[in-house]
């Protein structure tokens, strides 16, 4: 059976695009994902990275509530330690008011950037994440009327606005078995970011399900794996389209954030580094090929990891190739 498929979009800056154009393209990808029957469409948070444009997922989600009608929308994710938990609760309660029953709040414990930029954002240490996460939970549940904050709670007398009647579904982004277990103990959804962890999601999913404790957010575990996938009509064409992505990933390993505006430039860069021992691992990070190959490998990934859902990162050198890839591997 084919897995449930969703889309994760990082607003990549392809070709000669500007970051502003990349943001607008994300809206077009979301519309296509809805038309094609994908279950969710999530956007990410990254700062001070020239190849990625989405620094404020909540703004994009607000725009997407007006550009779509049925697909679930969410953050993959909000980097919680960059913000006040109260502010995050209020932003996502407002999004829930705009699109009731369609909003997912995925949060991560990292900064989504380098430490110096994190300082400019006034980020706190990731060690504060458990406390921030608990406060976020409390304000979401209080605002929706599910669990009012009591006089004994540290946040007594402080309420997130707007109030319910519903709250966004809460998820945690993970990149290790330990963070998977944390999400399970908290009783929230869990998404393992394979493209960040550079590892298979199976151990983290298993740790999450072992540790899961029912909560007001969900009575049973739900785990997803996010991976990079690119399909084209032929394997040869898919491999060619993947060149800018692979060249950029290899350059990043040398601490060089580099864009490759054209496929020939990317192919030349990869040819020069054909003997680089890191190249095979870069290639292995993504699922690339003709539609049958990509669909089969996504199904295998769901089976081997135990994931309930697979997030496909919408990649490709142009908007057209990204949407075409989603068309070729769309849910059955």
pLDDT tens by residue, the chain, 332 residues: 789 999 999 999 988 899 999 999 999 999 999 999 999 999 999 999 888 999 999 999 999 999 999 999 999 989 999 999 999 999 999 999 999 999 999 999 987 788 888 888 888 888 999 999 999 999 999 999 999 999 999 999 999 999 989 999 999 999 999 999 999 999 999 999 998 888 899 999 999 999 999 999 999 999 999 999 999 999 999 999 999 999 999 998 988 878 898 999 999 999 999 999 999 999 999 999 999 999 999 999 999 999 999 999 989 999 999 999 999 999 98
- Give the other-Cβ count within 10 Å of 204's Cβ: 31
What Rg do the C-alpha atoms of the chain give, in angstroms?
20
What does the pLDDT look like over 141-182, one tens digit per residue?
999 999 999 999 999 999 999 998 999 999 999 999 999 999
Residue 235 is inside which H or E element, if any? helix 235-241
In sequence order, the β-bridge partners of residue 225 are: 192, 310
pLDDT at 111: 79
Cβ-based neighbours of 152, under 8 Å, separated by 6 or more: none
Evaluate whether the domain defined by 4-228+288-328 bears CATH number 3.40.50.300: no
pLDDT at 119: 86
The model carries a pTM of 0.95
The DSSP bridge pattern shows strands 103-108 and 72-75 to be parallel
pLDDT at 250: 94
pLDDT at 9: 96
> Which residue in 194, 195, 225, 231 sits closest to 323, CA to CA?
231
pLDDT at 306: 97
Q: Assess contact for 172 and 187: CB atoms under 8 A.
A: no
Rounded CA separation 100/165 (Å): 9
Can you spell out the DSSP letters for 237-254?
Answer: HHHHHTHHHHHHHHHHHT
pLDDT at 318: 95
pLDDT at 270: 96
pLDDT at 49: 87
Cβ-based neighbours of 44, under 8 Å, separated by 6 or more: 8, 9, 10, 11, 52, 54, 57, 75, 76, 77, 112
Instruction: Please state the domain extents for the chain.
Output: 4-228+288-328
pLDDT at 56: 95
């Amino acid at each position: 059976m084919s897995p449930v498929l969703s889309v994760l979009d990082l607003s990549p800056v392809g070709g000669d695009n500007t970051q502003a154009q990349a943001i607008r393209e994300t809206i077009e990808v979301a519309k296509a994902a809805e038309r094609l029957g994908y279950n969710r469409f999530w956007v990410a948070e990254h700062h001070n990275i020239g190849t990625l444009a989405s620094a404020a997922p909540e703004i994009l989600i607000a725009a997407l509530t007006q550009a779509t009608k049925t697909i679930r929308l969410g953050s993959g994710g909000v980097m919680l330690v960059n913000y006040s938990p109260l502010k995050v609760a209020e932003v996502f309660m407002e999004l829930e008011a705009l699109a009731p029953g369609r909003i997912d709040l995925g949060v991560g414990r990292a900064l989504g950037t380098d430490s110096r930029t994190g300082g400019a954002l006034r980020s706190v240490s990731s060690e504060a994440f458990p406390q921030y996460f608990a406060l976020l939970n409390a304000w979401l549940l209080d605002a929706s009327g599910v669990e009012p904050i009591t006089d004994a709670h540290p946040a007594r007398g402080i309420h997130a606005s707007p109030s319910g009647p519903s709250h966004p579904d809460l998820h945690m982004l993970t990149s290790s078995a330990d963070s998977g277990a944390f999400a399970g103990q908290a009783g929230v959804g869990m998404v393992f970011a394979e493209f960040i962890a550079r590892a298979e999601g199976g151990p983290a999913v298993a740790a999450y399900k072992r540790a899961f404790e029912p909560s007001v957010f969900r009575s049973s575990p739900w785990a997803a794996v996010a991976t990079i996938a690119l399909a084209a009509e032929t394997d040869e064409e898919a491999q060619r389209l993947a060149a800018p992505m692979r060249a950029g990933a290899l350059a990043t390993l040398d601490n060089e954030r580099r864009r490759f505006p054209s496929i020939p430039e990317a192919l030349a860069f990869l040819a020069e580094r054909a003997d680089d021992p890191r190249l095979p691992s870069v290639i292995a990070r993504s699922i690339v090929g003709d539609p049958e190959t990509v669909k089969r490998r996504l199904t295998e990934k769901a089976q081997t990891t135990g994931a309930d859902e697979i997030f496909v990162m919408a990649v490709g050198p142009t908007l057209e190739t990204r949407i075409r890839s989603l068309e070729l591997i769309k849910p059955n």
